[in-house]
Amino acid sequence: MSLQRAVSRVGGAVLATATQGVASLRPARKPLHPDGEVVNGRIFRRGSAEPTGVAWIDEEGEDDVVVRRSRAIGLPHRLPDIHGLAVRVPIGGGHGDLLFATTGFGRVTRFVLTASRHPRSRPLTTLLPYDTEAGPLLLAAEGSEPGSYDLSWARPSGEWHVFGVLLLSTTRSGDTEISFDPVQHQIPGLRQYPAVRRLREPAYLRARRSRSDTRPTTKENPHVH
């Protein structure tokens, strides 16, 4: 077994255990990011001056999206928490999910989760890199004005390049129970590395099981063990 695979499996097990621990303390459909605000939004992509090989980043366009803002642990609002921003982008007949969490923008801090009291006081990144035709790439969202986030990309140790802006609507989305999963739903060109997939999949699997375990039993929706 390669060192990368071993580290990924250990990391995945840790994430899954943490998710299971939170789920056992708070049996909810979403053990992580239990409460959040779901709103409609629109992304305006101006394209990237430096090509990334990902059409969604490189090309101009607009996307009607669904966005969920939440606190990862669900601590009282007076306490610092890790803030999350989940974005569902329509792709053809399906969709791709992007998940951002509060980190830093530095060459090291962009890979470190950071708690804060206010969701806009810290930048948010995808934390783990995507696999693209031109090499590893991270995405970031930084609050510029109320209801607005600048979207940018960077190589793991490179500079950040703004390629678009996300504007949030004051209109709430009707799907308050929406669940985002970047492992199962990817934007073309933004692939999950096998190691990252192995790292993330156990935690998302545990979260999916938690949602199933807390789903009411009905004839239309039987409880599955």
- Amino acid in the structure at residue 119: P
CA-atom Rg of the chain in angstroms: 17
Dihedral over alpha carbons 57, 59, 63, 67 (to 10 degrees): 10
Q: What confidence score (pLDDT) does residue 91 get?
A: 94
Q: Which CATH class is domain 35-191?
A: mainly beta
pLDDT tens string, the chain, 225 residues long: the values are 444 444 334 444 434 444 444 444 344 445 454 567 899 999 999 999 999 999 999 999 999 999 999 887 777 778 888 899 999 999 988 999 999 999 999 999 999 999 988 878 899 999 889 999 999 999 999 998 888 999 999 999 999 999 999 999 987 766 667 888 888 899 999 998 888 777 766 655 655 565 455 444 444 333 332
DSSP symbols for 110-137: GGS---BSSTTSS-EE-SSPEEETTEEE
Q: What confidence score (pLDDT) does residue 10 get?
A: 41
Q: What confidence score (pLDDT) does residue 145 get?
A: 85
- Helix, strand, or coil here: 169? strand
Q: What confidence score (pLDDT) does residue 89 get?
A: 98
Residue whose token pair is 């806009």: 120
Report pTM: 0.76
